[in-house]
């Protein structure tokens, strides 16, 4: 008896006594706790009374059809996450589509093979467990993003407070005529612009447009705004010091009238914001660098969702192509290389793989030692992922020939490919990683592990999808861990 299955409760909904007894005997032998319902109402009562790990549901029931029951389970928040495997003697594809539309996770046609039922039950329970783990991990990730946001807001508040103190300590005050001449300045204003005294600055600056502003038309722009609104707040400009160097100021400028409403002059307050501008520039560069790093670690769409505060970053994808590639006899070759040579060679090989993956619009998932994993059709689904990953496999098999081993021979790789559904998402509490899970990934890895040097072994799923576009050779049956004997094919080239 499997300890993992012993704690799992299953509900069989079928009014066919023979089928129900067969399933009950089969699954009980595997250690599952079994409850049986012969009608839809009995099933609902049993499921609500104690939430099972999985439901096996017949479509033909005496009081309601299986579609209705499945739909009710999926609409109820208490039962929506329970996997439902439909058992039916109906073989019409329309019936299967309808079953999946109402929320079924799998469909088994009667009469069924015993081993098939066991494998599908185990697979659905495993996927449900993975989804639950991803949900928990993403909750922790969401909490971390929230904490980081709070820290950034605190930093912004500190920066604003520092800016206020700094600007008030360097405030300058001036009066200027409508013709662009300084009428008076305070000592802080003179020091700000590098003059020995206020008198020196007033005597020296005869034309504000030319001697103060780096852009000669800047004062004209400010005057146009003042004529319309009478006041300017926080106008930022780059200006000259006495010695010709430049810095940034923020100005508040307003018009002054006499009691009769006649315009007299302009007055203003000037703040030196050079340090703040520099800090903003550095902060902007750091954020751009962080954004580039995040996009380099995660797919762009996933990175944008993470930055946008997505609460859950996990999804099931129906059609994805997965490739594993591994350097042949790498351990023996690496023993003849220094650590620096080893890292340099791997970097060159995988950088070349990265370029080819980008060219074929594939998503690099990760490297594990001397193994390389790439996928197509995610995170944004597309129709040509299988052909793209097949061509990528042919390209890397050809490109690896340019890399030499220490013994003078060229490196060789083994490649395995599979296509099918996967679960994809971001895991980890402190370091983000985008990864894939599911039977499709496991079988792709087995294709590489049981392959041969400089050959590309693929599953029947990929062969059926691409047999009209690429050239294949039938290899025959291969023992695949967890799946038994499987027919596989060699991908040879394009037709």
Contacts for 215 with CB less than 8 Å, ≥ 6 apart: 237, 238
Q: Residue ranges of the alpha helices (H) in 298-361?
A: 300-307, 330-334, 339-359
Question: Residue 383: is it exposed, middle or buried by C-beta count within 10 angstroms (0-12/13-18/19+)?
Answer: exposed
pLDDT band at 68 (very low <50, low <70, confident <90, very high): very high
Q: Say which residues have a Cβ less than 8 Å from residue 171's Cβ, sequence separation at least 6.
A: 188, 269, 270, 271
Residue 1 pLDDT greater than 60, yes or no: no
- Could you tell me how far CA 9 lies from the centroid of its own chain? 35
Would the pLDDT of 296 be above 60? no
The pLDDT of residue 307 is 62
Q: Is a pLDDT exceeding 90 seen at residue 474?
A: yes
Q: Which of 263, 350, 327, 320 is nearest to 434 (CA)?
A: 320
163: pLDDT confidence band, cut at 50, 70 and 90?
very low
d(C-alpha 176, C-alpha 13), whole Å: 89
**Comparing 274 with 167, which gets the higher pLDDT?**
274
E-only strand ranges, 106-260: 106-109, 172-176, 182-185, 231-240, 246-257
User: Each residue of 249-279: pLDDT tens digit?
Assistant: 999 999 999 989 899 999 999 999 888 888 8
Task: Say how far apart CA 100 and CA 48 lie, in whole Å.
Answer: 22
pLDDT score, position 387? 95
User: Is the pLDDT score of 310 beyond 50?
Assistant: yes
Contact 225, 232 (CB under 8 A): yes
Q: Half-sphere exposure of residue 312, counting CA atoms within 13 Å on the CB side? A: 9
Checking if the pLDDT of 22 tops 80, the result is yes
308 band by pLDDT with thresholds 50, 70 and 90:
low
Provide the b/e sequence for 68-106 (b: ≥16 CB within 10 Å): ebbebbbeeeebeebbbbbbbebeeeebbebbeebbbbb
Instruction: Please count the CA atoms within 13 angstroms of the CA of 229 that sit on its side-chain side.
Output: 9
What is the C-alpha to C-alpha distance for residues 407 and 450, in angstroms, rounded to an integer?
A: 25
Residue 165 has pLDDT above 60, yes or no: no
DSSP H or E run through 465? helix 460-466
Say whether the peptide bond before residue 111 is cis (omega within 30 degrees of 0): yes
Q: Which residue's entry shows tokens 């996770």?
A: 105
What's the rounded mean pLDDT across residues 77-85? 91
């Amino acid at each position: 008896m499997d300890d993992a299955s012993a704690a799992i409760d299953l509900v069989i909904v079928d009014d066919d006594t023979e089928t129900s007894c067969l399933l009950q005997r089969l699954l009980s032998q595997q250690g599952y706790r079994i409850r049986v319902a012969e009608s839809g109402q009995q099933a609902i009562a049993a499921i609500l009374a104690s939430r099972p790990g999985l439901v096996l549901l017949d479509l033909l029931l005496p009081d309601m059809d299986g579609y209705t029951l499945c739909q009710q389970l999926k609409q109820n928040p208490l039962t929506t996450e329970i996997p439902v495997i439909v058992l039916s003697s109906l073989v019409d594809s329309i019936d299967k589509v309808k079953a999946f539309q109402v929320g079924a996770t799998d469909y088994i046609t009667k009469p069924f093979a015993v081993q098939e039922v066991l494998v599908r039950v185990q697979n659905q329970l495993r996927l449900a467990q993975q989804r639950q783990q991803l949900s928990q991990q993403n909750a922790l990730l969401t909490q971390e993003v929230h904490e980081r946001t709070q820290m950034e807001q605190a930093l912004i508040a500190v920066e604003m407070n520092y800016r206020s103190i700094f600007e008030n300590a360097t405030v300058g005050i001036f009066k200027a005529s409508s013709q662009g001449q300084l009428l008076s300045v305070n000592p802080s204003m003179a020091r700000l612009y590098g003059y020995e005294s206020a008198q020196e600055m007033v005597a020296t600056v005869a034309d504000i447009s030319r001697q103060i502003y780096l852009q000669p038309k800047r004062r004209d722009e400010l005057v146009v705004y003042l004529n319309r609104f009478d006041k300017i707040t926080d106008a930022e400009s780059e200006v000259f010091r006495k010695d010709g160097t430049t810095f940034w100021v923020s100005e508040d400028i307003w018009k002054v009238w006499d009691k009769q409403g006649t315009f007299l002059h302009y007055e203003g307050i000037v703040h030196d914001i050079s340090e703040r501008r520099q800090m903003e520039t550095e902060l902007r560069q750091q954020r751009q660098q962080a954004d580039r790093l995040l996009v380099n670690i995660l797919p762009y769409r996933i990175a944008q969702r993470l930055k946008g505060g997505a609460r859950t970053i996990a999804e099931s994808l129906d059609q994805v192509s997965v490739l594993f590639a591994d350097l042949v006899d790498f351990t023996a070759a690496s023993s003849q290389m220094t650590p620096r040579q080893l890292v340099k060679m791997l970097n060159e090989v995988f950088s070349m793989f990265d370029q080819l993956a980008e060219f074929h619009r594939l998503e690099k998932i990760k490297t594990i030692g001397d193994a390389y994993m790439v996928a197509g059709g995610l995170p944004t689904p597309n129709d040509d992922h299988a052909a793209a990953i097949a061509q990528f496999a042919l390209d890397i098999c050809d490109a690896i020939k340019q890399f030499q081993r220490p013994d003078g021979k060229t490196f060789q790789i083994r490649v395995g490919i599979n296509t099918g559904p996967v679960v994809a998402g971001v895991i980890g509490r402190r370091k983000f990683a985008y990864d894939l899970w599911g039977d499709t990934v496991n079988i792709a890895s087995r294709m590489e592990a049981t392959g041969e040097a400089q050959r590309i072994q693929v599953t029947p799923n990929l062969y059926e999808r691409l047999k009209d576009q690429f050239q294949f050779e039938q290899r025959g049956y291969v023992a695949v861990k967890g799946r038994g004997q499987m027919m596989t094919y060699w991908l040879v080239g394009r037709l």
